[in-house]
Amino acid sequence: MTSSTDGSSSPPEPGRQGRGVRAFLRRLLGGGGSDSSAASQPNRGAVNGLVEQAAAFQSMRVGDVMTPRVDIVAVELSTPFAEVVERFAEAEHSRMPIYRETLDDPVGVIHVKDIFKVLAGRGKRPGPADLILQKLRRDALYVPGSMRAADLLLRMQAERIHMALVIDEFGGTDGLVTMEDLVEAVVGDIDDEHDEAAVASVTPRPGGVFEVDARAPLEQLEAAIGVDLAPGELDEEIDTVGGLVSALAGRVPQRGEVIAHPAGYEIQVLDSDARRVKRVRFKPIVAAGSNDEA
């Protein structure tokens, strides 16, 4: 594996690096103009608010925003062309990593437009014996999970790279990060034409347990449980289940953490990232010895 460096041989100074991120975001959000008219004030206010969120982004590492190894969609180097086409159709991705035998031996990236060029060509379609991925693969960017997310964003923007593989200290594949992942870490989720409208679910389980999408309205969970869950002093400030969990913890809790709710529930964080809680499990706390009472 020919590994690219993480760009840390000459790291930018914190102040300069921060200004670079802010400038990139202003260009991204269309806020870099000099128009001072009153009509531009609302947009400028929104941009300034997002730029402030960049302060938190600058402390994030690539490992905080990457797609974990278990969720990577990739293709093996010897995969026949027809199967590669099917894989792209199923995944609806524009790029995929290519590996040799295991994900711990990545050899490059395949772009869907290179597949289209083959499909649109007048020549003979590649057969099962043709190592088409060997011919179409592009070099991949490899970065450590400890790399600053802001550094990677600037590098990808400058070099027009849209995907990087995250490598652990042993050279194995730890995850994958895209330009979209990095931008979403600052501006929030960006839906594209392939993203289905998400339904925030509250799913009942045996024993009075509920598994809940953290985006679900708090009222929806309260109706299912039959209990008021928002603390009185925060009742008007909390709209979602994820907001409730973060308010109780005083921060964004991480996957695996367990938080006690004063109404007699144990909240287990099933999924989260550095920015928000994604999914939780509400489980009633059974008092010791309660099963023995008449």
Q: Where are the domains of the chain?
A: 63-187, 202-287
Q: What is the DSSP string of 211-242?
A: EEETTSBHHHHHHHHTS--S-GGGTTT--BHH
* Cα–Cα distance, 241 to 201 (Å, whole number): 11
Q: Could you confirm whether domain 202-287 is CATH 3.30.465.10?
A: yes
Amino acid at 215: R
Higher confidence at residue 11 or residue 80?
Answer: 80
Q: pLDDT digits over 169-205, tens only?
A: 888 999 999 988 888 887 766 555 444 545 568 899 9
* Cα–Cα distance, 93 to 80 (Å, whole number): 18
Higher confidence at residue 49 or residue 227?
Answer: 227
pLDDT classification of 275: cutoffs 50, 70, 90 = confident
Cα–Cα–Cα angle for 271, 25, 42, rounded to 5 degrees: 100
What b/e string do you get for 19-41 counting C-beta neighbours within 10 Å, with b at 16 or more? ebbbebbbebbebeeeeeeeeee
Predicted local confidence at residue 190, as pLDDT: 58
Predicted local confidence at residue 23, as pLDDT: 61
* Cα–Cα distance, 284 to 126 (Å, whole number): 58
Locus of tokens 């057969």: 127
Mark residue 169 as left, alpha or beta (left: phi above 0; alpha: psi -120 to 50; beta: remaining).
alpha
Predicted local confidence at residue 277, as pLDDT: 86
- Does the pTM surpass 0.85? The reply is no
CATH of domain 63-187: 3.10.580.10
Amino acid at 143: V
In sequence order, what E strands does the chain have?
67-68, 75-76, 95-100, 102-111, 141-144, 163-167, 173-178, 202-205, 209-213, 258-261, 265-272, 277-284
Predicted local confidence at residue 124, as pLDDT: 66
